Amino acid sequence: MAANKAQESMSGGKMQGKTLITLVIVGVVVLLGFLAYRLILVELITKLSDHH
């Protein structure tokens, strides 16, 4: 039981670091995707309003 806990915390440190990096990457991708989406929406709205 205690040995398992020790192993878990040792490998858990590495796993936590990987999880943090993954979360950061996902966050950046989501943010970039959101910004691109907003830019595309603004472009479409301005094009549509230009036609009218």
Residue 50: inside a domain: yes
Number of domains forming the structure of the chain: 1
Six token digits for residue 45: 């709205």
Residue 13: inside a domain: no
The single-letter code of the amino acid at 42 is V
Residue 14: inside a domain: no
Residue 31: inside a domain: yes
40 falls in which pLDDT band (50, 70, 90)?
A: very high
Q: What is the separation, in whole angstroms, between the first and last Cα of the chain?
A: 72
Six token digits for residue 5: 């806990």
Average pLDDT, the chain: 85
Residue 30: inside a domain: yes
Residue 5: inside a domain: no
Report in angstroms the alpha-carbon separations of 25 from 6, 28, 29, 50: 29, 5, 6, 37
- Residue 15, pLDDT score: 74
Residue 9: inside a domain: no
Q: Which domain holds residue 47?
A: 24-52
Q: Tens digit of pLDDT for each residue in 8-30?
A: 666 666 777 889 999 999 999 99
